[in-house]
Structures are given as structure tokens and as C-alpha cells.
Amino acid sequence: MKSIRILQGRAVPLELSDVDTDQIIPSDWLKRVERTGFGRGLFSEWRDSPEFVLNQEQYQGATILLAGPRFGTGSSREHAVWALMDYGFDAIIAPSFGDIFKNNSSKQGLVIVELPNADVEELSKLVKANPALQITVDVERRTVEVAELSWERSFPLDAMTRERLLNGWDDIGITLRRDAEITTYEKTSHSPTLNGIFDASGHSAR
Amino acid sequence: MTKQTLYEKIWDDHVIATPEGESTIIYIDLHLVHEVTSPQAFDGLRLNNRKVRRPDRTLATADHNVPSDPLSTPVNDPISRRQLEALDENCAEFGITLFPRGHENQGIVHVIGPELGVTKPGMTIVCGDSHTSTHGAFASLAFGIGTSEVEHVLATQTLPQQKAQTMSVTIDGIVGPGVTAKDIVLKIVNTLGTGGGAGYVIEYRGEAIRALSMEGRMTVCNMSIEAGARAGLIGADETTIEYLRGRAGVPDGAEFEKLAEYWRTLRTDDDATFDKEVVIKASEIVPFVTWGTNPAQVIALDGVVPSPDDYQDADSKNATARSLEYMGLTPGTPMKEVQVDVVFIGSCTNSRIEDLRSAAVVAQGNKVASTVRALVVPGSHRVKKQAEAEGLDQIFLDAGFEWREPSCSMCLGMNPDQLTPGQRSASTSNRNFEGRQGRGGRTHLVSPGVAAASAIKGRFATPDEVTL
Ligand code: SF4
């Protein structure tokens, strides 16, 4: 995971509530064997329509998604997070989120910004009026800012998630900080390994 | 010293660190890998430039997607083929021993670990598959994990874990003739309910459990997850040690005896206490069959299809009515009058040599009913070879059963062996969920002996009906 201090970019207003994980990435996409390439499946039920906000010219290249309440409810599929990140989003701003989705996001480095409904609506309005508006999400200060309009709000971010994002630690990275302890444990472990049981082609003596 | 349960002993032995306010980090001794839940984990390693920390503690086999057709038949389903190819490539790239389709050691992941002797007492074992609890029969702590955790173990050989609560399930007394390990575990799941084991690691105890072979103990531990438990385990004893003696993955002579000495300590101390204790009378266990769409919906084969009116609360009434409708069953019908279309003998619950022997005894000299398709799918190539050496394949073939290649096969609808909508199966697998064996399929879980007898009668039947 990359370390994330400050994100800056344009936003796209989705303006829909209760966007569940099936809508973010439909289940036929779960059959893939890769962890990349899910961006093409993002919101795939809606992507065919030229009207769909993601297809509109002025929002191409946006890196922040503005959504309605209860974004990412539904199944535990991490694919939803992979799809959003693979498409190019690095932060989602919404009034509330599905629990597991939020948890999965923090593990992958997708920044979750919870703001009151009125603030999200206001931000959407500002973005619609000026799609080129630059929005800054500051993980360190826990703020969302539109500098040119002197618009700034704070958002909640627990210490652990903030630490993860700032240092670029994913779950594995956090465990690997204990590499020395793992190595020490391994030296004293009496549990047999597979060494010497199978040859290069998986055959064994018995 | 305080008295400890087996789970607590294994847990303590694997703690690396208990960081303030976070989960305990435990070491994983053995990581088993298959094609379905691993591809994204390997891709995650690549994305982050990480290696597999301990290829010498990682073992892979192809099972879920592998067709049970003759090995000359290609894998036609494109998704299955891609997952199998991805496993080949990933194991080659990361230096992991793999048993691909057709390999002499290939088989269902939970069958091969024990039979190769790589599953050993005292170990922590994980796999991206919920039935990893099977390995608990060897006094090891074994549980299923998700794909992110698979990646975590590949990269670190550890997992952040919360310590579970302990539960003992004691079978009091010995079971009667004709009662199998499958019947014991169906009774356990029925008693606990599908959520009754949530948050617990179950230890199975009592005379009836001690009397089981390792195959039988694996059948019991396998279905721990159907009661919602994190894992199930059984203390080590001479049965455990004798099963492992001479297997590919264990040493010989003095070295083996030294290991065995340690294994004998892997049992719950006398007077240790569990967070919860459940006792089931062995005398209440008879040949069982599931009638509904979850593995706790169990009745005696001699019983009749239950009715929603048997239940007091509205929830159970509704659930029963829904299950009956999906299963196409009428309350009050004797189970032994219900016709079956397909019989499946296989899966990580019941596809070991002893399971095949118990089905072959029933099949011998009989004929599968003309209305029934009956499949026997050995759990591994080694099981298949052993069965063929004993002539079991010929007994099955003569009786009209299909003798197939090792695979998860009809346990789940991920390979070509599937039920068609409305078809009813007697299956030795572990899940009777809606659509589990194919869309619209109706699954009844039974023991291998009952499955074989039902194939012959064309309806649910007990072995004594055809072997007298
Ligand atoms: S046999 Fe069935 S339960 Fe066992 S590993 Fe295969 S699919 Fe899972």
C-alpha cells in the first residue's frame, strides 16, 4: 500500500443513496482470477448509459467520488474496493458507509470521508457548478478542503486507520513490522516443515 | 500449573505477539492452497512486490474445479480452466509444491493433508476453505480463512486472530451398530443448530469419539463449521499416532517415536474447564438424513418429513415451510418412501478409503436402481489407487455405480458434476444449501452406507435393507 498524506483532485457527484456492493461491482465479476482490471466492471449496470455521471466529459479523470448515504452496503466482497481504486478513485465522500466496505477500504488504502449529508450535498452542488474544482483530502489533518472557496470541513478518522494511511501500512505491512519477532519464533519452532518430503515434481518416497 | 484445554495449549504454543489493542498474531505451521481462493492473494503479493515467506510450509492442490471425468477429458469451462492455470503459474513463480490434476498426490485438499502425513498434531493449519476444520481430527488447530488472509499468510506465515471460546461436545456412551461418524456429526449439528458453535472452537470428546477411526474423526471435525464453529478438534491418542505411522510426511524409527511422545501430550488436561459443555447421549444417535436446506435440519431415516406445525414459534414455522417447499416434500411422508434421482459418494466429508469400503459392502452383489445415477468420487488419487487395489472399483462398477476421478465433484456446483433443477440427491457431502449441488437441486446429507443403500433401492434406505 502507498503512503497517503494529502489527496488532491477533481470530484464526480454520484448523488445516489444506498449504492450497494452489487451495484458497485456485479457478481459476475467475482469470477476473475486477478486483483486488477476491476475498474471496467465498476457500476457496470449503469455504465452503458451516456447520461451516467461517470460517462460525462467534464468528470473524466476525477479521483474523488461524492455519494449519498449508506454507500457500499451489502456483501463483504473486497472487489468493490478494488473496482473503485482500479477505476481511479482514491477517496469516497459520503454521509455514511457500509461497515465491511469501510473496513475493507481502510485495508486497501481507499480513503473514506464521512461528512454530514448537508455538506456532501453542498459539495456536490459546488462541483456541478464547477467540475474543475480542486478538492483536497488531508489525511494528516483529517480535513476536506476547497481552497479557492475557503471551504473546509473536518471528518472522523480513527487513529489506527490514519496511521495505516499515513505510513502506507496494509494488514500485511503492519504484521511485517514484527518481522524480527516472527523470525525469532521460527528459530524456536519445533513444528516440522515440508522440507525433504516431496521432490521438485511433488513426488514423495512413500 | 493451570489446567488447559487442547485448544489453549496449541494457541499458547503459536503466539508471536499480543499487541496492545490489536489481535494476537499467531504463527501458521501449514498453509494449504487450492485454485479458487488463492489467485487474488498471489496477485496481491505481486502488486506489492512480496514473496511467499515459507514455501516449505505451503502446499497446493487442484480440487474444486477439477472435473471428475477421465483425465483425458479437457477442462471445458473457461473460468475453471483459468483458475487451474493460474494455480500452476503461481505455484511455479512462488516455488510452492503443487499437485495438479492427474498428479499421484492430487485430491481434495482436506483429504490429501492427512493421508500424506503433512497434517500433524499440535500444528496450526489454515486453508482458504471453510472445511479446513477437518484437520482438527489430528489434534491440530485448523480453520478456514478468506482470500485476504490467504495473502497475509503467504506473505508473513502468521495471522492476526482473536482467541476463541472453548466448547466441549461429549458423546456419552457408545453408538449402536449401523451408526456412523456422519450420523454422530449430523446429530451434533442438529443439537447445536447452525449458529450454535459461533465464536467457539469445539473439542469432541467421549467414548464414542475415541472409538472412531481417524477417517471417522475427520468426518466429525469436517462439519464443525456447519454448527458455526471456528474449528473442531479431537485430542491425540494411539489411533492418531498409528494412522500417521509410515505416511509420506513423517519420519521413521526413533524420530517418529520422539514425535509421538510429544503428540501424546496434545490432549485436554484432566479437570480443565471449557466455556461451554454440551453432552449428547450416544443412544439417541441413529442413521440420520437431512430433510431441509440447512445441515441442522436432520431426522432419523426411520422418521417422517416434519411439518411446520411441529414448531411453536413463527420463525421456525416459516423456515420449515420454506425448506419443505424448496425440497418438494410433504409433511408426514416417511423418509424411506422419498425417491432419489442421484447418489453422490464423495467430498471431503466422506471420500476416504474407509467411506468407500463401507459403501462397497452395501453395493456388493446389488444393482443401482434404474431410475438413479450414482457416482463414487474418491477423495484423492491415493484413495482411488488403494480402493482399486482392494477391488472396490469393480464392486461399484458391477453394481452400476460410476467410478470417477478425484475432485470436489458434486459437493458444490463448480465443476461439471451438478444436479439439474428439481433433482433429488442422497449425498455424503456436508452442505444441503439451496442450489449447492446445482441450481434447483435438492440435497439430502447421509452417510456413505445409507447413500449406497439408497442408490440400490431408488429411495432413502438403510444398509440393512439391502445387505441382509
Ligand atoms: S469437497 Fe466440498 S466442502 Fe470439501 S473442499 Fe471440496 S467443495 Fe469444499
Q: For residue B1, is pLDDT > 80?
A: no
pLDDT at A32: 86
pLDDT at A75: 79
Let me know: does B116 contact B249? Beta carbons within 8 Å: yes
Q: For residue B390, is pLDDT > 70?
A: yes
CA pair distance B132, B12, nearest whole angstrom:
20
- Region B310-315: mean pLDDT is 92
**What value of ipTM does the predicted structure carry?**
0.93
Let me know: does B70 contact B118? Beta carbons within 8 Å: no
| Cell numbers that stand for B7 in this block | 485448544
- Region B433-448: mean pLDDT is 95
pLDDT at A29: 85
- How far is the centre of ligand 1, averaged over its atoms, from the C-alpha of B355 (Å)? 16
- Region B445-467: mean pLDDT is 97
- Region B126-135: mean pLDDT is 96
Q: Which of B39, B97, B120 sits opposite A33 (nearest CB)?
A: B39
Q: For residue B435, is pLDDT > 80?
A: yes
- Region A132-143: mean pLDDT is 98
pTM of the model: 0.92
pLDDT at B414: 84
Cross-chain Cβ contact B17/A178 below 8 Å = yes
Cross-chain Cβ contact B40/A33 below 8 Å = yes
Q: Which of B433, B419, B293, B404 is nearest to B345 (CA)?
A: B404
Query: pLDDT tens for residues B51-65?
Result: 999 999 999 999 999
Q: Give chain A positions within 8 Å (CB) of B104.
A: 203
**Ligand 1 pocket, B408 CB below 6 A?**
yes
- How far is the centre of ligand 1, averaged over its atoms, from the C-alpha of B145 (Å)? 14
CA pair distance B181, B349, nearest whole angstrom:
10
CA pair distance B409, B416, nearest whole angstrom:
8
- Region A76-99: mean pLDDT is 94
Q: Which residue has the higher pLDDT, B1 or B178?
A: B178
Q: For residue A131, is pLDDT > 70?
A: yes
CA pair distance B200, B224, nearest whole angstrom:
10
Q: Which of A175, A191, A197 sits opposite B29 (nearest CB)?
A: A191
Query: pLDDT tens for residues B174-228?
Result: 999 999 999 999 999 999 999 999 999 999 999 999 999 999 999 999 999 999 9
% of residues, chain B, pLDDT over 70: 100
pLDDT at A26: 86
Q: For residue B468, is pLDDT > 80?
A: no
Model confidence band, residue B19 (pLDDT cutoffs 50, 70, 90):
confident
Q: Which of B381, B450, B306, B416 is nearest to B79 (CA)?
A: B416
Q: Does A172 touch chain B (CB under 8 A)?
A: yes
Beta-carbon contacts of residue B198 (< 8 Å; ≥ 6 apart): B228, B229
- Region B139-156: mean pLDDT is 95
| Cell numbers that stand for A2 in this block | 502507498
H helices of B205-352, in order, are 207-210, 214-222, 238-244, 253-263, 314-327
Model confidence band, residue A74 (pLDDT cutoffs 50, 70, 90):
confident
> Which amino acid type is present at position B341?
D
- How far is the centre of ligand 1, averaged over its atoms, from the C-alpha of B413 (Å)? 10
How distant is the Cα of A94 from the closest Cα of chain B, in angstroms? 26
Q: Does A178 touch chain B (CB under 8 A)?
A: yes
% of residues, chain B, pLDDT over 90: 96
